[in-house]
Amino acid sequence: MITIKILVVGANGQIGKHLITFIQDYNHEAKAMIRNEEQAPFFKDLGAETVVADLEGEFEDIAKAAEGVDAIVFTAGSGGHTGKDKTIMVDLDGAVKTIEAAKVAGVKRFIMISSFDTTREAIQAAPAGFAPYVAAKHYADEWLKGTDLDYTIIHPGALVNEEGTGKINAAVKVERGEVPREDIASVILGSLENESTIGKEFQVVAGDTPIAESLKLI
């Protein structure tokens, strides 16, 4: 198996921490992008490299963080309940800066963790307080699709902290449902190892199909 070096943006989030653990367990190399050194011990204990860069900070810091990796995973998010300012600065501007940083650093493979439904219809249907978040994700996704990067966009269902089952339901469109964060981390790693997911975007909820098998059917 070829070893992949992966920059995880949003590494200190719940999905990010699961992903870093899995990357190390599968003998790939993880580079955790964190906001400050205080977050470093968790990742260093796993044997992962860390790099300090703030999505709300300078583009050059993100571009430097992206140097020397084979793939970038964007798992960062302000969440649907922060102010509109954070939504714009993290979920839109932070995402676009990371995409552009990938280009500068010569990193072709890019995995985006988006929201479950980021269509124009979803923006219009969302409650007023949630609509800015969906809109930010929509335009970040569109920006990525407009590049020549080898992208995969993953749209998870309602995220829960239950133990992963290793089984999902994934397709361009699925019924809304929950999915463990641990399983989304496994879907990310599976997508990185499966080139058939390049240029694809799909929704994911808990299901009955093993992750590796499900990704082959996307």
Catalytic residue among 26, 133, 139, 151: 133
Residue type, 167: K
Q: Are 167 and 209 contacting, i.e. CB atoms less than 8 angstroms apart?
A: yes
Check if 26 is active-site.
no
Strands 200-206 and 167-171: antiparallel
Active site residues: 133
